[in-house]
């Protein structure tokens, strides 16, 4: 996962009365409407104008404190409850004028950096294969921190939390289990007076400046921890903004029974990540704990088990009390889109207040290229749920989707209303290969390929789509006469047999046709955008980014994987009889993608996916029955008509 950039009495009655007034008035009338120069605000409540808190407090005069908070977990098994370290910055009026404020908190295992680690081998059955050095995660890849410059002047405390086993915290990092949940929850409990905390010198300390209302925000692991905290149902956590975050660690390191890598980190797993973030004092105390994770995670079968159930928050969505703004990149192959989409769907079912952003970046936040709208929506999100300001954010369209041309569309739901699942048959072609994708099935002779994925990447196997290739099967539509928008979660049903060592089946959905498309990468434009109050060393500004594009003859729209031994259940491995035909069904990663007129939609079927799956020795033969096999595409509007 891409890493984070480290960053450095009467008042109660007055604030309560002000908040009651805010919840009773429309946005235009809520609260005082005056404005004071930064650093000259002398009241005990924030200033609200136009439904938004105003920047009337001084970032330069902010007070800071560090608190070590007791959790309910003992992850290092030393007989003492873990403590997590919280570093807080808040308006000086919380000390001098009895001001009470809510807190915007970013929890992370990365504030103290990371360690050199070794990933697991992924070439199976090769005596020469060994573990290899892990790719170095870029700690500066996260957007620069802006919460102190932007939110503190508007009447918020901002805070960074070291998750267990990292930085100034105790305990052991456990890659998402209940102990880490307890650590994230403890910060909310302390801000509400329900957990004990101590200053670095050991003095007990309480959050007498806190309203008890807490918001969390962060990207990747920093966004996963807010999901984890919210899934506990902790009282006081009112809003979260998880960006490119995990909702089930199984769907980060596994897929449909198969061992799977996050994009760019082949061979990483729960234990490797725990070793990477283990930055607490005396890290050797965690050796046995992390060894236990390695032994239990099961890189042999990839089965869903108790290890993964303890790191799966989707089933806990019914506990969530916080309003959730889900954000994910459609080109993110690190934390894949399934993690956000299944969380979105579960929270919808639970009746949680929701928003969704789907953008064209990769493992990133849209803050840097849509800064004004990002700040408007996140500001109003936190104002609405942490201050109770009736600004109408919950009545705006729930969904923002960025298209390939950079434009944005809003919708009331996602997949967009009117989307229908359309099955396309994987038919044999006139000469066998390539095959045809069609609305109506047509039986034909079986077609086979031999797994070469240990030496050829998926990108190498999908080219020359109009020719037969011994390492894959290809199925193509004719050129489209109208655009086709795929939005939702595609699925595939394959009647096939396998004969060989590799149990993997991989499906790629491809847009064939030369075009200019987003890559997910970003580049700086040189334009400086100032968003908040500056201080020496931090001017409260950032450089606007733009999404890069490239012109290419194809683009992988999405992909999905199955361990054929788990054809009935991700939790159960069953043997595959060589040459016996089975019906296999699996999902691809959710997407929102429009294929332009004149292009063709392609489905590529292979076995090993070099950059993602384990790599067994070459030679597995996969034989597919055309006609009865099909791809299921969620198509918006009249997409089906464009395929006739």
Query: Does residue 27 have a pLDDT over 80?
Result: no
Active site residues: 220, 332, 363
* Residue 446 or residue 133, greater confidence: 446
What mean pLDDT value characterizes the chain?
91
The confidence score (pLDDT) of residue 642 equals: 83
Average pLDDT value for residue range 186-212: 98
Average pLDDT value for residue range 345-369: 97
Q: What percent of the chain has pLDDT over 90?
A: 88
Query: Does residue 133 have a pLDDT over 90?
Result: no
Confidence grade of residue 43 (pLDDT, cut at 50, 70, 90): low
Average pLDDT value for residue range 128-132: 57
Q: Give the pLDDT confidence of 290-325 residue by residue, as tens digits.
A: 999 999 999 999 999 999 999 999 999 999 999 999
The confidence score (pLDDT) of residue 144 equals: 58
Confidence grade of residue 289 (pLDDT, cut at 50, 70, 90): very high
Q: Give the pLDDT confidence of 214-259 residue by residue, as tens digits.
A: 999 999 999 999 999 999 999 999 999 999 999 999 999 999 999 9
Query: Does residue 127 have a pLDDT over 70?
Result: no
Q: Locate 168 and state its tokens.
A: 């100034």
What lies within 8 Å, CB to CB, of 166 at 6+ separation is 108, 109, 110, 111, 112, 173, 277, 278, 279, 280
Domain ranges of the chain: 10-411, 420-643
- Eight-state DSSP code of residue 325: E
Q: Taking the CA of residue 211 as centre, how many other CA atoms within 13 Å lie in the half-sphere pointing to its CB?
A: 30
The confidence score (pLDDT) of residue 641 equals: 85
- The 3-state DSSP class for residue 59 equals coil
The confidence score (pLDDT) of residue 131 equals: 65
Give the integer Cα–Cα distance in Å for 438 and 544.
44
The confidence score (pLDDT) of residue 136 equals: 67
The confidence score (pLDDT) of residue 292 equals: 98
| Whole-prediction pTM | 0.92
* Residue 53 or residue 12, greater confidence: 53
Cα angle for residues 114, 166, 313 (degrees, 5° grid): 100
Does domain 420-643 fall under CATH 2.60.120.260? My reply is yes
- State how beta strands 420-429 and 432-438 pair: antiparallel
Query: Does residue 273 have a pLDDT over 90?
Result: yes
- Determine if the peptide bond prior to 415 is cis (ω within 30°): yes
- Eight-state DSSP code of residue 123: B
Average pLDDT value for residue range 174-179: 98
Query: Does residue 11 have a pLDDT over 80?
Result: no
Query: Does residue 69 have a pLDDT over 50?
Result: yes
The confidence score (pLDDT) of residue 129 equals: 54
Q: Give the pLDDT confidence of 612-633 residue by residue, as tens digits.
A: 999 999 999 999 999 999 999 9
Query: Does residue 3 have a pLDDT over 80?
Result: no
Does domain 10-411 fall under CATH 3.40.50.1820? My reply is yes
Average pLDDT value for residue range 122-139: 69
The confidence score (pLDDT) of residue 443 equals: 87
Cα angle for residues 500, 462, 427 (degrees, 5° grid): 75
Give the integer Cα–Cα distance in Å for 315 and 106.
24
The confidence score (pLDDT) of residue 158 equals: 98
């Amino acid at each position: 996962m891409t890493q984070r950039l480290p960053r450095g009495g009467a008042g109660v009655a007055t604030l309560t009365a002000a908040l009651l007034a805010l919840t009773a008035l429309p946005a235009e009338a809520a609260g005082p409407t005056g404005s004071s120069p930064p650093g000259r605000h002398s009241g005990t409540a924030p200033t609200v104008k136009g439904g938004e808190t105003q920047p009337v407090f001084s970032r330069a005069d902010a007070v800071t404190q560090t608190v070590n908070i007791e959790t309910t977990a003992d992850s290092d098994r030393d007989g003492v409850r873990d403590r997590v370290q919280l570093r807080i910055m808040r308006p000086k009026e919380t000390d001098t004028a009895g001001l009470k404020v809510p807190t915007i908190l970013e929890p992370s295992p990365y504030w103290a950096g990371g360690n050199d680690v070794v990933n697991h081998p992924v070439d199976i059955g090769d005596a020469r294969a060994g573990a290899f050095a892990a790719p170095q995660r870029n700690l500066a890849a996260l957007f620069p921190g802006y919460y102190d410059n932007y939110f503190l002047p508007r009447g918020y405390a901002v805070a960074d939390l070291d998750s267990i086993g990292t930085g100034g915290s105790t305990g052991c990092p456990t890659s998402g289990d209940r102990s880490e949940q307890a650590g994230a929850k403890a910060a909310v409990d302390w801000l509400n007076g329900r957990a004990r905390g101590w200053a670095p010198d050991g003095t007990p300390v309480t959050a007498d400046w806190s309203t008890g209302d807490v918001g969390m925000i962060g990207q990747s692991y920093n966004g996963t921890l807010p999901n984890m905290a919210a899934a506990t149902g902790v009282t006081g956590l009112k809003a979260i903004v998880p960006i490119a975050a995990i909702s089930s660690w199984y769907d980060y390191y596994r897929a449909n029974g198969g061992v799977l890598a996050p994009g760019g980190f082949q061979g990483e797993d729960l234990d490797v990540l725990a070793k990477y973030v283990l930055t607490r004092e005396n890290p050797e105390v965690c050796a046995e704990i992390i060894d236990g994770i390695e032994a239990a995670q099961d890189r042999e079968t990839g089965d869903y088990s108790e290890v993964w159930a303890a790191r799966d928050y989707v089933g806990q969505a019914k506990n969530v009390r916080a309003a959730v703004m889900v954000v994910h990149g459609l080109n993110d192959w690190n934390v894949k889109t399934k993690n956000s989409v299944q969380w979105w769907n579960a929270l919808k079912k639970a009746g949680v207040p929701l928003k969704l952003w789907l953008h064209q970046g990769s493992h990133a936040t849209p803050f840097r290229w849509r800064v004004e709208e990002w700040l408007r929506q996140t500001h109003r999100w936190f104002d609405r749920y942490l201050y109770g300001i009736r600004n109408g954010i919950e009545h705006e369209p729930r969904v923002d989707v960025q298209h390939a041309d950079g434009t944005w569309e809003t919708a009331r739901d996602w997949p967009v209303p009117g989307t229908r699942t359309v099955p396309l048959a994987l038919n044999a072609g006139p000469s066998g290969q390539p095959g045809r994708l069609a609305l109506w099935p047509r039986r034909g002779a079986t077609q086979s390929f031999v797994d070469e994925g240990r030496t050829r990447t998926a990108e190498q196997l999908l080219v020359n789509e109009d020719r037969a290739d011994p390492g894959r099967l290809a199925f193509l539509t004719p050129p489209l006469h109208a655009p086709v928008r795929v939005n939702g979660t595609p699925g595939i049903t394959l009647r096939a047999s396998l004969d060989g060592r590799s149990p993997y089946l991989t499906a790629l959905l491809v847009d064939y046709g030369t075009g200019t498309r987003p890559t997910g990468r970003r580049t700086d434009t040189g334009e400086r955008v100032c968003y908040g109050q500056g201080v020496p060393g931090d001017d409260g500004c950032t450089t606007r980014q733009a999404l890069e594009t490239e012109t290419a003859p194809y683009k992988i729209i999405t992909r999905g994987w199955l361990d054929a031994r788990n054809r009935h259940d991700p939790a159960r491995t069953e043997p595959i009889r060589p040459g016996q035909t089975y019906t296999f069904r699996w999902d691809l990663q959710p997407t929102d993608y429009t294929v332009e007129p004149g292009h063709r939609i392609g489905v590529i079927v292979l076995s090993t996916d070099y950059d993602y799956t384990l790599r067994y020795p070459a030679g597995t033969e996969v034989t597919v029955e055309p006609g009865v096999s099909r791809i299921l595409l969620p198509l918006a509007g009249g997409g089906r008509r464009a395929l006739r």
